Chain A
Amino acid sequence: GQQVMQIPQYQHVQEGEDFTTYCNSSTTLSNIQWYKQRPGGHPVFLIQLVKSGEVKKQKRLTFQFGEAKKNSSLHITATQTTDVGTYFCARGGSNYKLTFGKGTLLTVNP
């Protein structure tokens, strides 16, 4: 099936540092969704991007959709310990099928 590749797989930062995770596809994405999963928890929806070049912000989180709609990124400014978790991107497909990437595990050292 059509996959999305996420990099990096792991990221460890000091509290206050910035963090970015990238989601890449070899084919054009109709839309991309981002989810966060806390350790031991379930994925929780963060944002959906649909338009080419779209940028959306949620407090310290900035989401971007590439101009060619083949990549997306999530940037967190000044990380906090509450940001710990795995961040997944998921591509929307036909019949609204949602395919998840492998995720980026973020750990934050206080």
Chain B
Amino acid sequence: EAGVAQSPRYKIIEKRQSVAFWCNPISGHATLYWYQQILGQGPKLLIQFQNNGVVDDSQLPKDRFSAERLKGVDSTLKIQPAKLEDSAVYLCASSFAGDSPLHFGNGTRLTVT
């Protein structure tokens, strides 16, 4: 089966600019996650979708981050405006259902200068 697709692979922006990341989960996977992974740390959950509804966004900095999964398939994560501390790898993951294992995409490495 095809894996989780993410784009772009790398992105370099200046602080205060905006950026968007795209994720296409594995077909049939109802749950989609966005994680932020800062170098040397574990992935931190930003937002979790079940189909097109938000299940958890408690750690999403809502003043600058937004995410949507309009048709319950693809998802986009946006940062506006970006800060230096947003430099990280943004990982998208999907799972079939419930507490099934997560399948991660290759991530988007964001550098904010």
A residues with CB within 8 A of B: 1, 31, 33, 35, 41-45, 48, 88, 92, 95-103
Contacts and interface: CB of A to CB of B under 8 A. Distances in A.
A91 to B, nearest CB: 11
A13 to B, nearest CB: 20
A99 B35 CA distance: 10
Interface string B51-84: 0000110110000000000000000000000000
A96 B99 contact: yes
Interface of B: 31, 33, 35, 41-45, 48, 50, 55-56, 58-59, 91, 93, 95, 98-99, 101-107
B10 to A, nearest CB: 12
Given A96-B98, A97-B55, A45 B45 contact: no
Contacts of B33: 98
Contacts of A43: 43, 91, 93, 102, 104
